[in-house]
Amino acid sequence: MAAKGSHSHVKLEADIERCRAEGHWERLRYLAQQLLPPRPPRKAKAARGAHDAGKRRRGAGGAAAEDYGSLLLAEALLEECLKENFAKLKDSIPLLEKSEPKLSEAKEYLTNILSRGKLRVSGLYCHHSCQLNTSFI
């Protein structure tokens, strides 16, 4: 039984990497959702109160898998937003969080990870700035 679980994990990782390499961002979002615990409905979240609004039941992979899934989701959302708004960006028109729900959602995923203290801000910015610099060369 453990071998089957391990095999499915390896397959999921391979699918994720293939989607990232080929730019299949919508499919990546679907795969990354499998790493996250189910999200409670918005009404239920508000009813729980502020003291535990950030706490969610951990999935099978635990906190590390949840963080990885959140990073993948944020990456996919940002890539989709860039793809959809290429003309605006080419003309140096800024994208506003209010008018771009994918930006807002990506920010939410990244903020949640940073607020839990699992990632250092400087490391995250350094990694993404290196990726951005190499992608525009």
How far is residue 49's CA from residue 57's CA, in Å, rounded to a whole number? 16
Cite the DSSP H helix spans in 62-116: 62-84, 86-90, 101-115
Spatial separation of the C-alpha atoms in residues 89 and 105, rounded to whole Å: 19
Give the pLDDT score at 62. Answer: 77
pLDDT at 5: 60
Mean pLDDT over the full length of the chain: 76
Domain segments of the chain as ranges: 2-41+55-135
Q: Looking at this protein, which amino acid is placed at residue 42?
A: R
- The model's pTM is 0.66
* In contact, 27 and 19? CB cutoff 8 Å: yes
| Residues in the chain where the model's pLDDT stays below 50 | 1, 45-60, 124-126, 129-130, 132-137
